[in-house]
Amino acid sequence: MGEKKSKKDGVLDSGGSKRKWLKVFETPPVQMLNAYGEAKYAKMSDPSVWEHLSKPLKTGAEYMTELCSTEPERRGVGINRFLHAVISYCDHQLNADIRKRNELVLDATKCKELYTEIEDLLPSLKYCLAPRKTPMKEGAASLRSSAAAPVVSGSSATRPELDKHARIIHEWLVGSKPSRIRMLLHWQSAGGLSHVASVYHRTAQCFVKHGNKLHEGIPGEVVTLQEFQEGIRCRHELGDAGMDDSKAHDDRDYK
């Protein structure tokens, strides 16, 4: 990457100045992919998975996902990537051909429950997804599909609606009720879109259950609904403009 590395100071930019943040924090799908066998994370306990996600990487990154941060803006970025992956997965299941295949391989009752759950959850996932810029693709990049949200400046979402839909997603992640989406993700977690969605889903699940565990000064280890909602609101405020690391999080007005 053309950057100097120091075990003591982390990663330096080309001018020799310390960089607090690296561009690549959201690397769970790549880091957790096992091309020659089953996914190990699928059978590990949530606390153990979260502990390993929070470890520094050889690249100099402080952790594997920005959900490991205490800052609402950083957590919002991590939640947004989770939303994007699960939306892509659910939309894929709604494809007519994929639906026919699911009807052939799944028990009729479970298949019906799967699509009922997708119809109930998808509106909340899509409402909470914040806008992002999608660059024009050329060459090899144009041969890869992307399910990125359309380019939108800012966010038209309102705080009450964001909080309402964020509550639905939070309850889905922490709830004990059987989930057919979760079942299918676990079953298909070998590679491709299903692997990426499975990894992000498991990461978000561990986050809401143990996201505060390794942070000093924060009581308990569970990420509260209010913290989860705040992360989503902060990401929506950023819109497609990106994040300015020089500005600390403060109280803001929401639409």
Q: What is the pLDDT of residue 10?
A: 42
DSSP single-letter state for residue 148: P
Nearest to 45 by CA among 184, 193, 194, 209: 209
What band does 229 get if pLDDT is binned at 50, 70 and 90? very high
Per-residue pLDDT tens over the stretch 59-75: 777 888 889 888 898 89
Q: Is the pLDDT of residue 128 over 90?
A: yes
pLDDT, mean over the chain: 78
Q: What is the pLDDT of residue 241?
A: 66
In this structure, is residue 19 part of a structural domain?
Answer: no
In this structure, is residue 180 part of a structural domain?
Answer: yes
**Distances, alpha carbon 157 to alpha carbons 61, 82, 132, 137, 229, in Å:** 32, 18, 14, 28, 13
Predicted model pTM:
0.67
Nearest to 73 by CA among 253, 234, 245, 236: 234
In this structure, is residue 24 part of a structural domain?
Answer: no
In this structure, is residue 99 part of a structural domain?
Answer: yes
Buried b (16+ CB within 10 A) or exposed e, 109-142: eebebbbebbeebbebbebbbbbbeeeeeeeeee
Domain count for the chain: 1
Per the structure, the complete domain to which residue 107 belongs is given by 39-60+71-132+149-238
In this structure, is residue 234 part of a structural domain?
Answer: yes
Per-residue pLDDT tens over the stretch 181-200: 988 887 776 555 677 788 88
Tokens of residue 165, six digits: 């839909």
- H runs (alpha helix) in 106-191: 108-128, 159-174, 180-187
Give the residue carrying structure tokens 């986050």.
207
In this structure, is residue 34 part of a structural domain?
Answer: no
